Amino acid sequence: MSATNYPNVFMLRQTNQLLGLYTIIRDRNTKRGDFVFYSDRIMRLLVEEGLNQLPVKPTTVKTSQGHEVEGFSFEGKICGVSIIRAGESMEQGLRDCCRSVRIGKILIQRDEETAQPKLFYSKLPDDISERYVFLLDPMLATGGSAMMAVDVLLKKGVKQERILFLNLLAAPEGIEAFYKKYPNVKIITGVIDQGLDENKFVVPGLGDFGDRYYCI
């Protein structure tokens, strides 16, 4: 599957550096410290690509030598919203690129009785409807949690066009489901994998991201 099949899906350029980074974090023998370090590098690239997608407007500034230069400035404010807990790993990458950025949080967990995602908690900036939102979650598998998170944002007045969903790894099934429901939300991903197995895990994948990042 190619990102070009969907106009609002953007995959990082598959450079030698990026391919090397993914090889490290996919390796089950990679130690936690290295997994965190190289995952953080990919997250920073995802944030940079997300920022590339934001609209700008013309502006004029003066240089230290007194010359006027025509340039651009971002049109609006941004904020991050992480899907707890794995999404919280991406917050620092956003802070590294955007000083004093506001961060919201959404907790969605699987209901053991229905096997469906269930919203347990959300805390978002009061003015979130006026901001561009970077929705943060490392893995896009079925898309269930991410779509529920988008529902929460829409109910708070955020427009689809102002939501950018950042993830390290995406399954084609998740992208398709997400795009059908929210065609105007931009997906920024590092790589699109082969698909989902019978247990709805991304393959070849890299394991449970939250466990590898925080625990092992």
- The closest alpha carbon to 46, from 213, 164, 140, 182, belongs to 164
Q: Is the model more confident about 118 or about 3?
A: 118
The set of long-range contacts for 153-161, using a CB threshold of 8 Å and a minimum separation of 24, is 153/81, 153/124, 153/128, 156/124, 156/128, 156/129, 157/128, 157/129, 158/128, 158/129, 158/131, 158/133, 159/184, 160/184, 160/185
Q: What average pLDDT does the structure give for the chain? A: 93
CA distance 47 to 196: 25
Active site residues: 110, 114, 208, 211
Report which of 129, 130, 144, 191 is spatially closest to residue 166, judged by C-alpha positions.
191
> In the structure, what pLDDT confidence band is assigned to residue 148 with cuts at 50, 70 and 90?
very high
pLDDT tens per residue, range 93-125: 999 999 889 999 999 987 666 657 789 999 999
Which residues 6+ apart lie within 8 Å of 103 measured at CB?
Answer: 79, 80, 81, 82, 91, 94, 95
* C-alpha distances in Å from residue 42, one per residue of 13, 100, 215: 12, 21, 19
Read off the pTM. Answer: 0.93
Annotated domain spans of the chain:
3-214
Q: What is the CATH number of domain 3-214?
A: 3.40.50.2020
Place of tokens 């449970």: 208
**216 falls in which pLDDT band (50, 70, 90)?**
low
Percent of the chain with pLDDT over 90: 85
pLDDT at residue 117, as a whole number? 79
β-bridge partners, 108: 119
The pLDDT of residue 103 is 97
3-state secondary structure of 129: helix
pLDDT, one tens digit per residue, over 40-83 is: 999 999 999 999 999 999 999 999 999 999 999 988 899 999 99
pLDDT band of 199, cuts 50, 70, 90: confident
